[in-house]
Amino acid sequence: MSIVFALSAISKSFGKNNQVNIIINANLQIKKGEIVALIGPSGSGKSTLLHIAGLLDTPSSGSVFINNIECSATTSDREKTYLRRNFLGFVYQFHHLLQEFSVLENVMLPQIIIGKSNEVARKNAIELLSLVKLQDKLLMSISQLSGGERQRVAIARSLINYPSIILADEPTGSLDNDTALEVFSLLHKYAKEKNISVFLATHNHILAKKADKIVQINSGTLQNYTDY
């Protein structure tokens, strides 16, 4: 399978004279359709690494490759925005849905932003919301949904532009165990069906073991995790 996403020698430091090392020479390759789980203790750098992977933060050194396009500290904000909108999908622990918009409008929005017509965006959004079993809640407001339903909307939104990879930062962290498994199963199922890669940060080792590969970050160092 082709490599759709890679981290190459990524390091991130903070503080005076960059004395605090958060990420140290991280390297990772993710194949098309591959689901990779990132585990590690709180404060180990999982979210920082996901933010760098999603071009939301800039590494101190190293590069991110998305479909063989290199992004580094010198890449312009304009190019990063283009890559995020067209090749990346995001799911967070807290859904970041727009309260003033309906379920349908929230899922349509990423397609409107990249220039799709309302008709096309609506059609694609309805299809995805049907896949995540929310076809009967299209016009509801976000406040009317349960936590699990909101995360299902977030998953549909992350898939709407058919990204190369979904970056998921603790997407089930605020949910109970049963709902967490349901939400993760949906993400896993539709990512596999559409051959979309997933890079998932999680504290939940039960969910992590359902990934194709697990990597662990500890004290800023990224390594393969084989203790199943």
Bind-site residues for ATP? 40-47
Which tokens in the block code for residue 117? 């017509």
Which tokens in the block code for residue 54? 């999603």
Write the CB contacts of 131 (distance below 8 Å, at least 6 apart in sequence).
156, 190
Nearest of 147, 148, 109, 154 to residue 129 by alpha carbon: 154
Strand partners, 64: 7, 71
Answer for the pair 29, 225: CB distance below 8 angstroms, yes or no.
no
Answer for the pair 87, 110: CB distance below 8 angstroms, yes or no.
no
DSSP alpha helix (H) spans, the chain: 46-53, 77-87, 103-113, 118-131, 147-159, 177-193, 205-208
- Point out the annotated binding site: 40-47
End-to-end CA distance of the chain: 24
Compute the distance between CA of residue 140 and CA of residue 149 in angstroms, rounded to an integer.
11
Residue 74, number of CB atoms within 10 A of its CB: 8
The separation between CA 77 and the C-alpha centre of its own chain, rounded to angstroms, equals 19
Which tokens in the block code for residue 62? 């190293």
